[in-house]
Amino acid sequence: MQEVSTVIDLIRREFGVGVGVNPNPERTSATTAVNLLFRSNPRRLGIIVYNLTTSGLWVGPFLDLAATKGFRVAANGGSLQAIWREDYILPTLDWYCLSDAVDQAILSYELVMIG
């Protein structure tokens, strides 16, 4: 049996691939217009988005995102996760964001397959 000494070892043993966690290369803030949050990536296993401000934030895998169509990420540290095991191909798609305020700070990461 293969020795497991780190979480990365455990993931590699369980799934046969490694996982990298990358800060979002596309965007660090949201605005009152719909903007690309994550570019599609067929090797992406998941995404994590944090709302760092007091304003509303909506995200979703569709360009016609609106306050009435999208996933709301609560203000003051609210978060959203999309993981392939639960959300199937959704994490691999283009994701967009929309805010109540201009230049709203967000923090987001993607989890991607490596190896």
Listed by start position, the domains of the chain span 17-114
- Give CA–CA dist 34/4, Å, rounded: 43
% of the chain exceeding 70 in pLDDT: 98
- Give CA–CA dist 45/98, Å, rounded: 23
The second-level CATH assignment, the architecture, of 17-114 is Sandwich (2.60)
What is residue 2's predicted lDDT score, i.e. its pLDDT?
64
User: Is pLDDT at 38 greater than 70 in this prediction?
Assistant: yes
- Give CA–CA dist 104/16, Å, rounded: 38
Reported pTM: 0.90
What mean pLDDT is predicted for residues 67-95?
96
113: which DSSP letter? E
What mean pLDDT is predicted for residues 39-63?
96
